[in-house]
Amino acid sequence: MSKELLSVLIAHQLQDYFQKFGYIGVYVWFITVDQIVPVPEEITLIIIGYFASQGNISPLLAGAFAIAAFLTVDIVYFQLTRSGNKLIKKITGKSKSPKANSYKEKLKNHTFKTLVVLCFIPRMRLLGPVFVALLKIPFLRFIFYDVCGLCLFTTIYISTGYVFHQSLSSVISKTQSLTNIIFIASMVVMAGLTIFFIRKMRGTKK
């Protein structure tokens, strides 16, 4: 079975699921099934956007429930890490690659920007709360940064499915290249905002 055909089948199954369970189904999907099945969150959000474009659900409410689910999972990972959970220790033990260590160092120095970056790297997003907890970054600061990143992440992908609803299978099959483009664009925006705020702060000090 080709990847394109598999993507289309998954899309139809998810549409049937969201048709039946609505917004609660969005929340339940992301806190349960999404944690164990190999379906990228990006594709699911694009499908939700497509589904919303048909007038079946509100993209705003669907996005809100998705963000609430992501935040729930992130808080659980954060708290489990703080408590020294054995499962989390196994996860962190497997994430001691040079790349993972690089992200941990970046989180220490640039927490907000790095958490946003991790949102756009498939499956790396789940390590953000773990790394933040290990670095003993305050919980409320983590929540604020995490919500900002999740809002951006969710809005972009649901909007993509909503705007390009005419050809869902084509959009899904090109998700990887789309992810790369969105990732690069997000980095450009983040860099611009960083430079803007730095200049503003320097101007205020003067």
Give the separation between CA 165 and CA 19, rounded to whole angstroms. 16
Enumerate residues 6+ apart whose C-beta is below 8 A from 113.
106, 190, 194
Q: Which residue has the tokens 């705020």?
A: 197
- 93-144, pLDDT tens digit by residue? 655 666 666 767 778 778 888 888 888 877 677 788 888 888 888 999 999 9
Highest mean pLDDT among 2-11, 37-46, 59-68, 193-202: 59-68
Identify the pLDDT of residue 4.
Answer: 46
Q: What is the pTM of this model?
A: 0.72
Contact yes or no for 4/171 (Cβ under 8 A): no
- The one-letter amino acid at 31: I
Count CA within 13 A, CB hemisphere, residue 67. Answer: 22
Closest of 155, 147, 182 to residue 69, by C-alpha: 147
Mean pLDDT over each residue of the chain, to the nearest integer: 76
Identify the pLDDT of residue 183.
Answer: 46
Residue 150 above 90 pLDDT?
A: yes
Q: How far is CA 21 from CA 10, 101, 102, 169, in A?
A: 16, 40, 40, 23
Identify the pLDDT of residue 67.
Answer: 96
Dihedral (CA of 184, 198, 132, 44) sign? negative
Enumerate residues 6+ apart whose C-beta is below 8 A from 158.
45, 46, 48, 49, 52, 59, 62, 63, 66
